[in-house]
Chains A and B, each alone.
Chain A
Amino acid sequence: EAGVTQSPRYAVLQEGQAVSFWCDPISGHDTLYWYQQPRDQGPQLLVYFRDEAVIDNSQLPSDRFSAVRPKGTNSTLKIQSAKQGDTATYLCASSFGGRSDYTFGSGTRLLVI
């Protein structure tokens, strides 16, 4: 079974630049999560979807971050104008039926300088 695929693996930006992260969940998993993990900290939920619907985006900085999952499969997380404080690993995870036994992707490491 293929796992959760994320790209790119790494991104280096200057402040003010935009970046998009892409996630392909496990086939058949209807629930998709985006987490932000600063260095040496635990993952913090940004947003999650059930199929194409946003279920919870309360922790997503809406002025600069956006996330979509238009067909209920792949998802894109975008940072419009990156800040140094956005430096972190961005993890995508998926599960079936909203179960908590997530499978995580390998993450995208973002460095904003």
Chain B
Amino acid sequence: QQKVQQSPESLIVPEGGMASLNCTSSDRNVDYFWWYRQHSGKSPKMLMSIFSNGEKEEGRFTVHLNKASLHTSLHIRDSQPSDSALYLCAASTNSAGNKLTFGIGTRVLVRP
């Protein structure tokens, strides 16, 4: 079964700093990677998705993908206390019905 590994497990970032999160899949058939953010006690909300090699930027969030190594990373610049949350990486495969397989997440704490 496909595994999605995330690192680090937790991260403390000063307000205004950069947070960098990593994610790797063990399934060579992965077509898409997804990043979700989950605030405490809330449901996961999709941040960004990526399927092609390279970089994608939306506001303060940048996602990188290296398909050869099945590695994606999420970078949050100018981190705000409201960015404190659990960040979940997920992978999907067209041949497996596009269901999402999630990692255990990286808990980010932004200190004012």
A106 interfacial by beta-carbon distance below 8 Å = yes
Q: Which B residues from 28 to 82 make CB contacts under 8 A with A?
A: 32, 34, 42-46, 49
The count of residues in chain B whose C-beta lies closer than 8 Å to any C-beta of chain A is: 24
Residues of chain B within 8 A of A19, CB atoms compared: none
Residue of B6, B32, B44, B107 touching A100 (CB-CB under 8 A): B32
Question: A99 to B100, alpha carbons, bound, how many Å?
Answer: 10
Question: A41 to B4, alpha carbons, bound, how many Å?
Answer: 12
Q: Given A91-B43, A106-B43, A99 and B98 touching (CB < 8 A)?
A: yes
Question: A35 to B88, alpha carbons, bound, how many Å?
Answer: 14
Residues of chain A within 8 A of B86, CB atoms compared: 40
Q: Which A residues from 25 to 74 make CB contacts under 8 A with B?
A: 33, 35, 40-45, 48, 55-56
Q: Given A33-B99, A100-B100, A43 and B49 touching (CB < 8 A)?
A: no
Q: Which B residues from 72 to 107 make CB contacts under 8 A with A?
A: 86, 88, 90, 92, 97-105, 107
Q: Is the CB of A98 within 8 A of B97?
A: yes
Q: Is the CB of B49 within 8 A of A101?
A: yes
Q: Is the CB of A104 within 8 A of B43?
A: yes
Q: Given A42-B104, A56-B99, A105 and B32 touching (CB < 8 A)?
A: no
Q: Given A98-B98, A99-B98, A100-B92, A105 and B43 touching (CB < 8 A)?
A: yes
Distance between B73 CB and nearest chain A CB, rounded to angstroms: 17
Residues of B in contact with A (beta carbons under 8 Å apart): 4, 6, 32, 34, 42-46, 49, 86, 88, 90, 92, 97-105, 107
Residues of A in contact with B (beta carbons under 8 Å apart): 33, 35, 40-45, 48, 55-56, 91, 98-102, 104-107
> What are 21 contact pairs spanning A and B, CB under 8 A?
A41-B105, A42-B4, A42-B6, A42-B88, A42-B90, A42-B102, A42-B105, A43-B100, A43-B102, A48-B97, A56-B97, A56-B99, A91-B44, A98-B97, A99-B98, A100-B34, A100-B90, A100-B99, A101-B46, A105-B43, A106-B42
